[in-house]
Structure 1
Amino acid sequence: MKKRFPAALALTATAALALAGCSDPGAGGGSSEPATWPDQNADLSGTTLTIWAAQNSNTVPDSVVAGFEELTGAKVDVVTIPDPYEQSVQTKVATGDKPDLAFWQPTASQLTALNASENLQSLDDAPWLGAYDGDLRDITGILDDTRYAALITTPAVEGVYYNKDVFAAAGITETPASWDELLTVARQLKSEGTTPFFDFGGGTPWATQWWVQVQLADAAQDGLWDRVNSGEEKFTDETIQGAIDTYDGLIGEGLFNDNLKTATFEDQGPALLAGDAAMAVQVNSFFGQLQSLADTAELDEKIGFFPISPTGNVGTFIPDQSNALVAFKTGDATREAAARQLLSYWLGDGYADFVEAQSTVSLQSDVPTPDGVPQALLDASASLSDSVGSMQALAIVNPDLYLNLGDMIQGTKTPTEVAEATQAQFAELAKAIGAAGF
């Protein structure tokens, strides 16, 4: 399975604009010499570590922090960085303000945004790497052949969450095995008076892009993003433009909720759980919302998951900041070693308690996934084995496709204008980092 992110420079739109005046923002100090990894239980009395977290990840370390402090005598402070998290962190780091560890999206684009070779510790030769199950060791966290991020939870997967009761009432006994089958099911449900899909376009329409990206899974496997990265193919060409056109056509066909333009993320989970809509194309964070609304027994009874792609059931993976941690170079050798020790504990003796506390899928073959993890989350994790990278994972820069799609939903951009605006921004950002072909 070819899952490593490209070694070329890659930036989000915000990061690229901020770094446009710099030459090669990901270069500089090169890889560090292999670090020593202290024993998990080494005494750290008098040492204080700081972890930066987003508002949706600031309780994730709780069990690990408690266990590590008791074991080592260290003190660990978890500091919540205001949203927008990524931009806030980059601004602080640019001024020299660094934590010891931080939650961070482990893609090449976001590692470059932090100027990884200068600011982050290399995690090569970490003692816990061999514990990862299957292909998860190298699925993410690597830039220019150096590992900078430690994966702690299952990377998010774009796919379809569905209401089992709605499917059963419509006599649908098997989940769709291709894009065409998905649309056949959707049209059947609509003909019977059921809303097939729930999406949201009001405010922050970040989920709109999943609708385009799942349609690109086959093309992504065939090197789509390599071609886009080199300038050989564009968002305005048939493949991506066609996916945008199709999404717009499904909206025009009335396959979405009536309040598409004004609905929010907070509306989506309750609608699916209640059966007000049959399906939602979403990622793992959506299931976290469902877990806040119902217990595992109800979720297993009502909610299922399947990946979708044009010709099959290939998932599209997109790691987010809650999935991984990075360790900073602070200039304090004692704290840097203590940060590595905390990672060793987190993915070592503390990992079983961590997955139990989070009720999440284990990434390690020797640590069982706890009882009580909902089946849909297990199915999403299982789909990683043959998944393909998203735009965020494989493109050298990441334009604001979702904002342009949001404009399309609101009626202020046509599908053609969506592709044109996205391509123009992509080319501008690629040029800013000196990418060949731009």
Structure 2
Amino acid sequence: MKRWHHLVVATTLVLSVAACSDPGADQSASSGPVTWAEPTAKLDGVNLTIWAAQNSNAIPKQVVDAFNKATGANVKVVTIPDPYEQSVQTKVATGDKPDLAFWQPTTSQLTALNAKTNLQPLTDAPWLKKFSPAVGRMTGFVGDTRYATLVTSPAVEGVYYNKEVLAANGITSTPKNFDEMVTVARALKAKGVTPFHEMGADRWATQWWVQVQLADAAKNGLWKKINTKQETFNSPVVLNAIKKYKSLIDEGLFNKDIKTAKFEDQGKALLDGKAAMAVQVNSFFGQLQATADTATLDKKIGFFPISPSGNVGTFIPDQSNALVAFRTGDAKREAAARQFLSFWMGPDYKDFIADRKTVSIETSVPNPAGVPTALQDAHASLSNSVGSMQALAVANPDLYINLADMISGAMSPEKVASTTQAQFDQLAKAAGAPGF
């Protein structure tokens, strides 16, 4: 009952937001042409609010402090409780808007916010020409209009692993495809090592296990086929991936506390060597960076992309990678929000990535010292990656919640597939997708 309540709420939110206006119209809350102030122009007395999730609220600290000092503005970061996306959509649907927010920059998630009505267009932002070719046109658009800007390298679904655990068990090279990874996992289990760690209680990472298995299909147009009803989540290609995930869990290749383990447990388990591998995205590595220095991470943690046929990553720009600026109806604050982004991606960008010890996405700004090798490897995999469900599907159903229910024993793989498809149909219809 709780699961279907969530489904109905999610669908109702999309419907209520979409019903506010013509989704094809670009309705600006403030009149006149969009201008871009100098990044350090004075903003004394201007208050701005940024919404962030629990795993992204620390990201802008350096930028906020520097911007406030340079401009006289007062920028405040407000943490919105998880599940972040649903919480934000609920607030926005009732008219509660921040000036800026971390947000997944995919078309489906921007559409869920009714971008054309609620968000400021960023198409002519002065920093866009600085983006590296690998990320410049990857994401952030509804149609031809940009509504989100990346601030860090887009997340990639792949495998983070403990180098010392693999080496201690005679594994000298990383797996070259999904089946080979499973073979390695079985060898580790035979030696008493926990091969994989999953965070079933926090749920959101469960979907990566299905999506990496769909990488080859995604490259061959799977999500386009699902968008046009040529395939569904009930089709063998998707259902078999769900079944495979469950079979690996049933085989005992995961942590024994899979049902209760949380995000922070996963990071600790991998860093401490209590598990060998975790299928995860960049925000997971951010957790590791918060608890260990670069030298330790380079010694212990590696990354490799994975797919059925080889080492192909699945890119999924998440809310920790990008920001949107809202149309609040206050022209001064809207301009200040744009200025904040210009400051972040302009004069402050070098200091920001140095503070975060993360990869640069601007061609004129080199990577800072201290970026861990695993993070560089994840970024490098983007050039050969394929899009995720979130990046390529017209709607973003709660696959991860359904998979978590499967882990807890509340759903079968078939039920996961059918429930996900039912929600996809409703969300796609609410978003105005053709054929739904």
Greater mean alpha carbon deviation, residues 313-322 or residues 57-66: 57-66
* Long gaps (5+) in structure 2: 1-6
The residue identity in structure 2 corresponding to 1:307 is P
User: In structure 2, what is the equivalent of residue 16 of structure 1?
Assistant: 11
| 2:68 aligned partner, one-letter code | E
Aligned equivalent of 1:318: 316
Moved over 4 A (4+): 12-15, 21-26, 31-34
| Residue pair 1:314, 1:387 contacting (<8 A) in 2 also | yes
Map 1:347-358; keep pairs closer than 5 Å.
347-358=345-356
CA distance in 1, matches of 2:71, 2:409: 57
* Alignment deviations for residues 27-61 of structure 1 (CA, whole Å, 9 cap, x no partner): 15327676221122323233332222233323322
Correspondence for 1:42: 41
Are 2:25 and 1:29 equivalent residues in the alignment? yes
Q: What is the alpha-carbon distance in structure 2 between the residues aligned to residue 191 and residue 56 of structure 1?
A: 35
Distance 1:268 1:83 in 2: 18
TM-score where L is the length of structure 2: 0.92
Give the whole-Å Cα distance in 1 for the aligned partners of 2:145 and 2:170.
Answer: 51
Q: Which moved more, 1:284-293 or 1:13-22?
A: 13-22
Q: Which residue matches 1:394? A: 392
Please, which moves more after superposition, 247-256 or 226-235?
247-256
Q: Is the 8 A contact 1:200 1:261 kept in 2?
A: yes
Query: In structure 2, what is the Cα distance between the partners aligned to 1:198 and 1:26?
Result: 45
Q: CA deviation at 1:309?
A: 0.6
Map 1:197-236 → 2, pairs under 5 A: 197-201=196-200, 203-236=201-234
1:364-383 mapped onto 2 (5 Å cutoff): 364-383=362-381
2:290 is paired with a residue whose SS is helix
Letter in 2 for 1:216: L
Q: In structure 2, do the counterparts of structure 1 residues 407 and 52 end up closer, same or farther at CA, with 3 Å as the change threshold?
A: closer
| Cα distance, 1:124 vs structure 2 | 0.9
**2:279 matches 1:281:** yes
Q: 1:339 aligns with which of 337, 340, 347?
A: 337
Distance of 1:177 and 1:196 partners within structure 2: 16
The 8 Å contact of residues 120 and 327 in structure 1, kept in 2 or not, is answered as yes
Indicate the residue corresponding to 2:55 in structure 1: 56
CA displacement at 1:427 relative to structure 2: 2.0
Distance (Å, rounded) in 2 between the aligned partners of 1:236 and 1:290: 36
Q: Say whether residues 1:69 and 2:65 are aligned partners.
A: no
8 Å CA contact retained: 2:112, 2:431 = no
Q: From the superposition, tell whether residues 371 and 44 of structure 1 become closer, same or farther in structure 2 (CA, over 3 Å).
A: same
Aligned to 1:433: 431
Q: How many residues align?
A: 426
Amino acid at match of 1:367: V
Aligned to 1:20, the other structure's residue is in SS state: helix
For residues 270 and 56 of structure 1, do their structure 2 counterparts lie closer, same or farther at Cα, with a shift above 3 Å needed? closer
Q: What one-letter code is carried by the residue in structure 2 that aligns with 1:347?
A: M
Residue 284 of structure 1, CA deviation: 1.4
Contact 1:217/1:314 (CA < 8 Å) preserved in 2? yes
CA drift at 1:307: 0.4
**1:306 aligns to 2:304 (yes or no):** yes
Measure the CA separation in 2 of the matches of 1:48 and 1:261. Answer: 42
- Distance in structure 2 (CA, Å) of the matches to 1:402 and 1:93: 23
Quickly say closer, same or farther: Cα 1:106–1:14, change in 2 above 3 A: farther
Equivalent-residue separation in structure 2 for 1:352 and 1:138 (angstroms): 22
Please list every run of 5 or more consecutive structure 1 residues that lacks an aligned counterpart in the other structure: 1-11
The 5-angstrom pairing of residues 75-154 of structure 1 reads 75-154=74-153
Q: For the residues of structure 1 that align with 2:235 and 2:339, how far apart are their CA atoms?
A: 49
- Say whether the 8 Å CA contact 1:109–1:393 is kept in structure 2: yes
Given residue 77 of structure 1, which amino acid in structure 2 is its aligned partner? K
Identity, % of aligned pairs?
65
**DSSP-derived class of the 1:195 partner:** coil
Q: Offset of 1:137 from its aligned partner?
A: 1.4
Contact 1:26 1:115 survives alignment (8 Å): no
Q: Cα 1:116–1:433, aligned 2, differ >3 Å: closer, same or farther?
A: closer
Cα RMSD after superposing both structures: 2.1
Aligned partners of 1:49 and 1:77 also within 8 Å = yes
* Preserved CA contact (<8 Å) 1:28 1:118: no
Separation in structure 2 between the aligned mates of residue 83 and residue 253 of structure 1, nearest angstrom: 31
8 A contact 2:195–2:253 mirrored in 1: yes
Change (3 A) 1:174 1:26: farther
SS in 1 for 2:278: strand
| 2:260 equivalent in structure 1 | 262
Moved more, 336-345 or 347-356: 336-345
* Aligned residues of 1:156 and 1:317 also touching (Cα < 8 A): yes
